[in-house]
Amino acid sequence: MKTADPELMRAINRFHVIDVVRREGPIARVGIAERTELSPATISAITGALIEQGVLNVLHVDPPEGPTRGRPRIMLDLNASAYHVVGVKLAAHRIGVAVTGFRGDPLGSLVLPVRLARQSPEVIADLVEDGVRQCLADAGLAMEAISGVGVGLPGVIDAVAGVSHWSPILGASPVPFARFLEARTGVRTLIENDANLATLAEHWFGHGRGFADFAVVTVENTIGMGLLVDGRLYRGAHGIGAEFGHVKIDPSGPLCRCGQRGCLDAYASDAGIVREARAAGCLEGNGTPDTHQLIGKLTERALAGEEKLAAIFRRAGEMLGIGVANVVNMLNPPRIIVSGEGLRAGELITGPLLEALDRNVLPVLREATEIVFHPWGDEMWARGAASIVLRQIYEAPWSNDAA
């Protein structure tokens, strides 16, 4: 750890000031000082530079009416149009795109319903470029106005190198997908495992605000988990996110997409539920291979009371509960956020999940961990992808050239 590096200290202080204004603005300088515990002189220097750079706006707010009425107070707020960023979510059957301002507020979004399976990474990069250009055109923004693109996708992703090592979308060979996109758009691009991205987004503007330690379990076409430890994303030994979907629930269980047996993913992901439904004779013929369409219909039928199907969803919920119980037993985070489209089945999933959780953790640990369900839509995912770029801008060194 470097010490007494003034540039680094200024960058860290700048990040904390911007972050406090983002979370609590409009806010007066004295309020920033209270929350950051920085000296008034430091706050003045940092906010003065940020105002000059156009990152912060100055607002003059009239004090409340009354006998002690004084001068207007000077409040600071983020300049929402200081930067624009794009977030992209890649899923097996669609591409979600959102463009946001500096606060992460969406200015426009779209979903391209395209099936990405069996497309080459180059073709997928072309499709993402089309989606980004369309989304920007709809929002009336030029590519040159964009400071960065963030992309979330399932799989084993090296966010630092911008390489997908294994992904149900980009395949099992390493793909430098960030470079592919940069070559097409000319804009700096970050890629990140989608569960990690959900974790950062929950920390920023969701149910993880104010928590230094929490986990996010994402239930989608794949099962993922992100883990925040001491306010930082835990990435493991190789800069890689946790692949929670491949935690083993039953060594003699069904074959998973990864080639191993009994993974949580094989029971509780969309693909796992579809496979179970087919094995139980609930799907006639070979039908459409589109898991996304199938899972929507299966969910409707289960919710409408088709018992054989409802049992498959309840079992998926139970397996998820065992997986979450393992997280509680190992890590005991104060909060676990369960999110994703898989929650569309509602009580059918969440009921058995909570029951299995209660059965499989020590009561003393169970009491200390709060479970929050947070169903996410495509826009939230894309906004989360945008927020990883925003976060990097916030962390940029002390300079005018933050982009």
Q: What does the alpha-carbon distance between residue 275 and residue 254 come to, in Å, rounded to a whole number?
A: 10
Q: Which stretch binds Zn ion (CB under 5 A): 81-89, 253-261, 331-339, 393-401?
A: 253-261
- The site map against Zn ion for 345-364 (x = CB under 5 A) is --------------------
Q: Which is nearer to Zn ion, 245 or 321 (CB)?
A: 245
In the complex, least distance from residue 267 CB atom to Zn ion, rounded to whole angstroms: 10
Q: Which stretch binds Zn ion (CB under 5 A): 139-147, 214-222, 262-270, 281-289?
A: 262-270
Q: Which residue type, as a one-letter code, is found at position 322?
A: I
Residue 256 sits in the site that holds Zn ion (CB under 5 A): yes
In the complex, least distance from residue 153 CB atom to Zn ion, rounded to whole angstroms: 17
258, 282, 371, 372: residue in contact with Zn ion (rule CB under 5 A) = 258
Backbone angles phi, psi at 58, to 5 degrees: -100, 130
Q: Which residue type, as a one-letter code, is found at position 309?
A: L
- The site map against Zn ion for 112-151 (x = CB under 5 A) is ----------------------------------------
In the complex, least distance from residue 258 CB atom to Zn ion, rounded to whole angstroms: 3
| Residue recorded with tokens 């069996």 | 118
> Residue 191: which of 221, 163, 169 has the closest Cα?
163
Q: What does the alpha-carbon distance between residue 217 and residue 198 come to, in Å, rounded to a whole number?
A: 9
Structure token digits, residue 295 = 């899972």
In the complex, least distance from residue 279 CB atom to Zn ion, rounded to whole angstroms: 17
In the complex, least distance from residue 308 CB atom to Zn ion, rounded to whole angstroms: 25
In the complex, least distance from residue 249 CB atom to Zn ion, rounded to whole angstroms: 10
Q: What does the alpha-carbon distance between residue 277 and residue 283 come to, in Å, rounded to a whole number?
A: 6
Q: Which stretch binds Zn ion (CB under 5 A): 183-191, 229-237, 243-251, 325-333?
A: 243-251
- The site map against Zn ion for 196-235 (x = CB under 5 A) is ----------------------------------------
Q: Which stretch binds Zn ion (CB under 5 A): 95-103, 119-127, 239-247, 384-392?
A: 239-247
> Residue 331: which of 229, 242, 233 has the closest Cα?
229
Site size with Zn ion, rule: CB under 5 A: 4
Q: Which stretch binds Zn ion (CB under 5 A): 69-77, 128-136, 260-268, 327-335?
A: 260-268
> Residue 221: which of 384, 373, 381 has the closest Cα?
381
Determine which helix (DSSP H) or strand (DSSP E) holds 378, and give its type and residue range. Answer: helix 378-394
In the complex, least distance from residue 246 CB atom to Zn ion, rounded to whole angstroms: 4
Angle between helices 6-24 and 29-36 (to 10 degrees): 120
Q: Which is nearer to Zn ion, 57 or 222 (CB)?
A: 222
Structure token digits, residue 131 = 């989606």
Q: At CA 327, angle to CA 323 and CA 328, rounded to 5?
A: 115
Q: Which is nearer to Zn ion, 249 or 298 (CB)?
A: 249
Q: Which stretch binds Zn ion (CB under 5 A): 63-71, 95-103, 263-271, 317-325?
A: 263-271
In the complex, least distance from residue 170 CB atom to Zn ion, rounded to whole angstroms: 17
Q: What is the dihedral of CA 334, 339, 342, 348, to 10 degrees?
A: 50
Residue 246 sits in the site that holds Zn ion (CB under 5 A): yes
157, 240, 242, 263: residue in contact with Zn ion (rule CB under 5 A) = 263
Q: What does the alpha-carbon distance between residue 208 and residue 199 come to, in Å, rounded to a whole number?
A: 8
In the complex, least distance from residue 82 CB atom to Zn ion, rounded to whole angstroms: 43
Q: With contact defined as beta carbons under 8 Å apart, do 291 and 221 qualify?
A: yes
Q: What's the burial of 78, exposed, middle or buried (CB within 10 Å: 0-12/13-18/19+)? A: buried
Q: Which is nearer to Zn ion, 161 or 258 (CB)?
A: 258
The CA–CA distances, whole Å, from 186 to 100, 152, 335, 389 equal 18, 19, 39, 15
Residues of this chain that bind Zn ion (CB under 5 A): 246, 256, 258, 263
